[in-house]
Each structure stands twice: as structure tokens, then as C-alpha cells.
């Protein structure tokens, strides 16, 4: 992949991350708790969802709803790809 293509890919990923984080913030503003590793977190900690780890782990989201079908919580837990 050429340098220009890599830069374009990087920019595309950054834009997708920004959109995703804005969405999380909208849910948080509506009172939906967002938990990372079982702990409620604020926007300053959301960036860890995109970090690359040497051990191959990454964060997977789980959207928790009530029986009524309404979203009640969003959980992100670290999982390992093996």
C-alpha cells in the first residue's frame, strides 16, 4: 500500500472512530450508562476502545436492553482473539 493510500485509510478510520464516539456521547447524554471492563466511564476513557494491544485483545460491545426493547446500558469488555 502506498503512503497516500495509507494516509487515506488512516483518515477514514479516524473519521469512523469520531462518529462512533459521538454516538456513545449521545447515548451517555440520554442517561445510558457506558461501562468499560465493568466500570462506568466517561468520554475521556472511550479512546481505549480503539487501542491495539500486543496480546491480541480488543474490546467488544454489548448493548443491554430491557424487556420493553429500550437500550439500558452499553458494556465493553476486553476479549482475546486466539
Q: Are 34 and 40 in contact (CB under 8 A)?
A: yes
- Looking at residue 2, what is its pLDDT? 80
21 vs 6: CA distance, rounded Å: 22
Q: Has residue 66 got a pLDDT over 70?
A: yes
Residue 77 φ then ψ, to 5°: -125, 145
What pLDDT, in 10s, does the model give residues 11-57?
A: 999 999 999 999 999 999 999 999 999 999 989 999 999 988 888 89
Domain boundaries, the chain: 3-80
79 vs 82: CA distance, rounded Å: 10
- Looking at residue 14, what is its pLDDT? 93
Global confidence as pTM: 0.80
Cell of 16: 469512523
27 vs 37: CA distance, rounded Å: 18
Amino acid at each position: 500500500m502506498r503512503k497516500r493510500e495509507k494516509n487515506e485509510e488512516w483518515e477514514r478510520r479516524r473519521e469512523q472512530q469520531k462518529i462512533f464516539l459521538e454516538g456513545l456521547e449521545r447515548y451517555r447524554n440520554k442517561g445510558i450508562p457506558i461501562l468499560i471492563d465493568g466500570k462506568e466511564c466517561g468520554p475521556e476513557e472511550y479512546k481505549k476502545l480503539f487501542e491495539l494491544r500486543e496480546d491480541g485483545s480488543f474490546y467488544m460491545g454489548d448493548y443491554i436492553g430491557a424487556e420493553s426493547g429500550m437500550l439500558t446500558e452499553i458494556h465493553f469488555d476486553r476479549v482475546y482473539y486466539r
